[in-house]
A and B are shown apart, each in its own frame.
Chain A
């Protein structure tokens, strides 16, 4: 079983839509969770950390569900510029190591 799993998508949504992605992880002892964004042919960039109580940054909301071992990312009022691949990142059995999901591709259409 993979450490981190994501639906690869693509999610094709119109501008202004609300879209949500989930990511499941296998190690119940994981402590650190992040969402990264990767544009085509670019490096991953930190979008937001995910905290136990959930957190929000503008149009983006991240949630952690430890019981079911998943994290989620909600994007409200989607913009064309939100089109990218969203990577879920979790630390694994070796807490010095991060595991990346394969990413969920989002296409926001006019």
Chain B
């Protein structure tokens, strides 16, 4: 069984559309994250949730809205997609805050 799974793997969409990426972990971890990896391969934290509560919210445009229905799920909804949103988005989880991260396989988002 995949520990951290995210869907879809690829997402190609037009500017201005709204899209969602889903993430689930079956590791029993308390903390989940969204990271963005840009074209220069730099991984940057976007959001972190601990037991369904938002812990970290980086300076991310409010077009990005995370939602955690329970501690095993953390979804990412993006409104009014822009060209600059094109990147690979990784979901991750850790047992607790500040512990080693386990990543999903990534969602490659291409905004045309």
Q: Which residues of A contact B (CB under 8 A)?
A: 31-32, 34, 36, 38, 42-46, 49, 85, 87, 89, 91, 94-100, 102-103
For A97, give its contact among B56, B102, B104 (CB under 8 Å). B56
Q: State whether A96 and B42 are in contact (beta carbons under 8 Å apart), knowing that A43-B103, A45-B103 are contacts in the complex.
A: no
Q: Inside 8 A of A46's CB, which chain B residues have their CB?
A: 100-102
Establish whether residues A49 and B100, one from each chain, have CB atoms under 8 Å apart when the complex forms. yes
Q: What does the 1/0 interface line of B46-57 toward A look like (CB < 8 Å)? A: 001000000110
Q: State whether A96 and B103 are in contact (beta carbons under 8 Å apart), knowing that A43-B90, A91-B98, A102-B42 are contacts in the complex.
A: no
- Chain A to chain B: the 8 pairs with minimum beta-carbon distance, closest first: A43-B103, A100-B43, A96-B97, A102-B42, A43-B105, A43-B106, A44-B103, A46-B100
Interface size of B by Cβ–Cβ distance < 8 Å? 21
Establish whether residues A100 and B44, one from each chain, have CB atoms under 8 Å apart when the complex forms. yes
Q: Which residue of B lies closest to A43 (CB)?
A: B103
Q: Smallest Cβ distance from B52 to chain A, in angstroms?
A: 15
Establish whether residues A42 and B105, one from each chain, have CB atoms under 8 Å apart when the complex forms. yes
Q: Inside 8 A of A98's CB, which chain B residues have their CB?
A: 45, 98, 101
